């Protein structure tokens, strides 16, 4: 007996399958490409490359909010089959991401250009910003339930670039090529996604900037949340280098890359799934919406515990056997980073649903408040703790605050649905 599957579900299934396949080269890169880069460049230069990439990622702060809101608005226009609105969202989102990219790049160059030992690191720090600008089109593609297109491009570019590094290595002094080898596959995939999107739907470029505040106001909240998490994680790596501990910065930066490899599979699954949910959310009964909230909360907490535990056990083992760092974190450093990573996984998993269906201001601005609190606690501890332990304070305080906020936010968002499904709300 043949089971009929709608075209939308076929696209969703294709996105899930290709997202998993596209992740394989990235996992291989963690265990093969990064050690090769470390060996070819030397530990100090390798740590500075990671620091430059981390700094650039820190200055993509506004991009997460623009992407999330643009994806939600585009999904609504696609659900209504409104081509004019799709074009307007496309042009408005593109305009905002370009302005944000120009502003953050200028700010980063003005404040950090003199901190590097080689001008190549300035260019490397711009790569994550450029990749973040083009990433907006991955989000727009997902609004059409077609994220598998981006996944295929990522698979191709990762295979080609990582294969070239494995076969030929990096020439001596090839700092920029090292940064491009890490960041390039995702940047090139996003550029290809944009080109193919416009070829498929040329009407998108005919839109106009409209209702800008529909993007600006909600984007600020998402930016405060996701941007704060990204900024803290990446700035800690950069600050360690700036504080005179590049070896420990390399240790933390490599663990962060390992964490991103664990986190990416969940995001790659949830990204197309939540886009699919977003298109149909308004037609769902309150009881089904409530179930989805509960499922995503439990999924986030469970996956957070799993990833945090794996990082605590496998992370030091991976570093010890794959890299020759002179500086290694102790058990407290590993525990602090694992707590933070587990909390980030839980928060990002649950907010993947929230940002796809609503503005989610409570969790957004609450995360920003937690970040300020963690930074304040670290600033106070700087008076008597060395740089690595100050970073531990940031990780522990932020991790615990995030978990408390997540439980409170979940209750707040679910309660109206509980009342409505029980017949208390008309």
Residue 372 lies in a domain: yes
Is 426 part of any domain?
no
Report the pLDDT averaged over residues 44-50: 82
Residue 2 is assigned to a structural domain of this protein: no
Residue 425 above 60 pLDDT?
A: no
Q: What is the pLDDT of residue 265?
A: 65
Please tell me which of 1-5, 318-322, 371-375, 380-384 the model is most confident about, judged by mean pLDDT. Answer: 371-375
Dihedrals phi, psi of 126, to nearest 5 degrees: -80, -20
Residue 12 placed within a domain: yes
- The pLDDT tens digits of the residues spanning 106-136 come to 998 888 888 787 888 888 889 999 999 999 9
Q: Residue 197 pLDDT more than 90? A: yes
Q: Which range has the worst mean pLDDT, 176-185, 209-218, 318-327, 345-354?
A: 318-327
Please report the pLDDT score of residue 2 as a whole number.
46
pLDDT at 38: 80
Q: How confident is the model at residue 3 (pLDDT cuts 50, 70, 90)?
A: very low
Tally of domains within the chain:
1
Q: Which of 20-29, 37-46, 92-101, 186-195 has the lowest mean pLDDT?
A: 20-29
Residue pLDDT, tens place only, 204-238: 998 888 777 777 777 777 777 776 777 777 777 77
From the list 64, 72, 130, 140, the residue with the least C-alpha distance to 101 is: 130
Q: For residue 1, tell me if it sits in a domain.
A: no
Instruction: Please indicate, yes or no, whether the overall pTM of this predicted structure exceeds 0.85.
Output: no
Q: In the prediction, which pLDDT does 153 show? A: 92
Out of 77-81, 189-193, 306-310, least confident range: 77-81
Mean pLDDT of the chain, nearest integer: 81
Are 322 and 31 in contact by the 8 Å Cβ rule? The answer is yes
Q: What is the domain range of residue 324?
A: 7-421
Most confident of 189-198, 372-381, 408-417: 189-198
What is the average pLDDT across 395-422? 82
Question: Does residue 349 sit within a domain?
Answer: yes
Mean pLDDT of 249-272: 73
Share of the chain above pLDDT 70, in %: 91
């Amino acid at each position: 007996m043949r089971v009929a599957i709608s075209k939308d579900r076929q696209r969703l299934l294709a996105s899930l399958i290709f997202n998993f396949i596209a992740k394989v080269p990235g996992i291989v890169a963690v265990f093969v490409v990064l050690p090769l880069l470390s060996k070819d460049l030397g530990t100090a230069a390798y740590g500075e490359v990671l620091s430059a990439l981390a700094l650039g990622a820190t200055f993509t702060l506004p991009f997460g909010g623009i992407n999330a809101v643009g994806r939600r608005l585009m999904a609504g226009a696609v659900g209504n089959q409104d081509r004019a609105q799709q074009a307007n969202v496309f042009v408005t989102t593109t305009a905002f991401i370009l302005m944000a990219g120009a502003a953050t790049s200028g700010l980063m160059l003005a404040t950090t250009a003199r901190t590097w030992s080689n001008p190549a690191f300035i260019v490397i720090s711009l790569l994550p910003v450029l990749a973040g600008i083009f990433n907006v089109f991955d989000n727009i593609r997902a609004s059409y339930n077609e994220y598998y297109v981006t996944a295929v491009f990522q698979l191709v570019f990762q295979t080609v670039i990582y294969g070239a590094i494995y076969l030929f290595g990096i020439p001596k002094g090839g700092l920029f090529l090292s940064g491009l080898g890490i960041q390039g596959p995702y940047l090139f995939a996003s550029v290809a996604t944009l080109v193919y999107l416009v070829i498929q739907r040329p009407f998108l470029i005919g839109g106009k900037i409209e209702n800008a505040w529909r993007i600006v106001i909600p984007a600020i909240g998402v930016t405060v949340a996701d941007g704060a998490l990204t900024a803290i994680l990446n700035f800690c790596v950069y600050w360690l280098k700036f504080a005179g501990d590049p070896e420990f910065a390399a240790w933390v930066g490599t663990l962060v890359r390992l964490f991103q490899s664990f986190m990416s599979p969940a995001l790659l699954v949830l990204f197309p799934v939540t886009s699919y949910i977003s298109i149909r959310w308004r037609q769902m009964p309150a009881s089904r919406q409530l179930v989805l909230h509960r499922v995503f909360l439990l999924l986030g907490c469970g996956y957070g515990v799993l990833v945090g535990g794996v990082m605590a056990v496998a992370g030091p083992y991976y570093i010890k056997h794959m890299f020759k760092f002179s500086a290694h974190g102790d058990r407290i450093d590993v525990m602090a980073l694992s707590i933070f990573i587990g909390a980030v996984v839980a928060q990002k998993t649950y907010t993947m649903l929230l940002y796809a269906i609503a503005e989610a201001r409570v969790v957004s601005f609450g995360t920003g408040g937690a970040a300020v609190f963690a930074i304040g606690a670290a600033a106070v501890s700087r008076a008597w703790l060395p740089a690595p332990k100050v970073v531990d304070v940031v990780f522990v305080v932020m991790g615990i605050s995030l978990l408390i906020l997540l439980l409170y936010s979940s209750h707040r968002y679910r309660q109206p649905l509980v009342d409505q499904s029980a017949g208390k709300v008309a």
